Structure 1
């Protein structure tokens, strides 16, 4: 769904249009679900939190304001709701620590590699991503998997724009360096084997 369609549906939803609300739900559910799994890993908790989020949205639609990006709004709301739920349930670390550092784990299935890389290469790349610090992983996930802008990531992670830009730059540099090291080691291994 394009941003323009999102905005149109959002306005219709605010006026009580159930079909528009349903379109928003179905357009964003998968993205919310996978992001929620990155935060807490419990499928039932994520599903319940998403449903509660949409239930609350529908019940408060008259008070819903204008949003620049529906996707960003929903991702941020889901993160906030999951953090509150996890804190309340005492199943994970404290609210402050979780809101500061969401530990996103990448799997080979997450990777949207356009080339025909084999499973070993996908696993290697996922492993390299998982070596990054938590905040770098979260920033990269939000940028390249959720297609959020640096401003949206900054708001989502309670940081300023420059800090997000630095996180992304350091994360990509570390990935490049690690890939170079792996390629060199692989070359040397095959050359001397």
Structure 2
């Protein structure tokens, strides 16, 4: 039986903060089993539970001099385990999202996440370049492409000729083709 087994949690914390290995060993042996059961109920995988507890006790020892306990030792340890379990859930969710994306790539031949990101970036670049067009040309282009109006409808609404509308759309497409050429090339790589 250890000398420290009769110590209270507060006394163990004081000794721990002074660097006493015996106090740390007593905290470990006093709380490991109950924390293991607590984490095992939530995680189910004994390897993950052991990793969580290893991280917790390593952190406790490494930061013993700087940790300020505002709650009791048991409350601190339970909260720390809960937070580490939540982190495991988050990591697993990211891992499963990655596996889903990988499976999508295997099934479809294209990485879904990468494709979506590139598509979003390309859309933002196109919108930025459209904003740089001269005002009248931009208005006609947006009416044609965003509002899906025919050249005749645009001409009627703006009180200009259909040929002017057609020429403005052609010119805007030429400008965008030149400015976006390199972006479009890299998009399809």
TM-score band w.r.t. shorter chain: 0.3 to 0.5
Q: TM-score, normalised by structure 1?
A: 0.44
Q: TM-score, normalised by structure 2?
A: 0.45
**Normalized per residue, which structure has more helix?**
2
Higher relative contact order (CA 8 A, sep 6+): 1
Is the radius of gyration larger for structure 1 or structure 2?
2
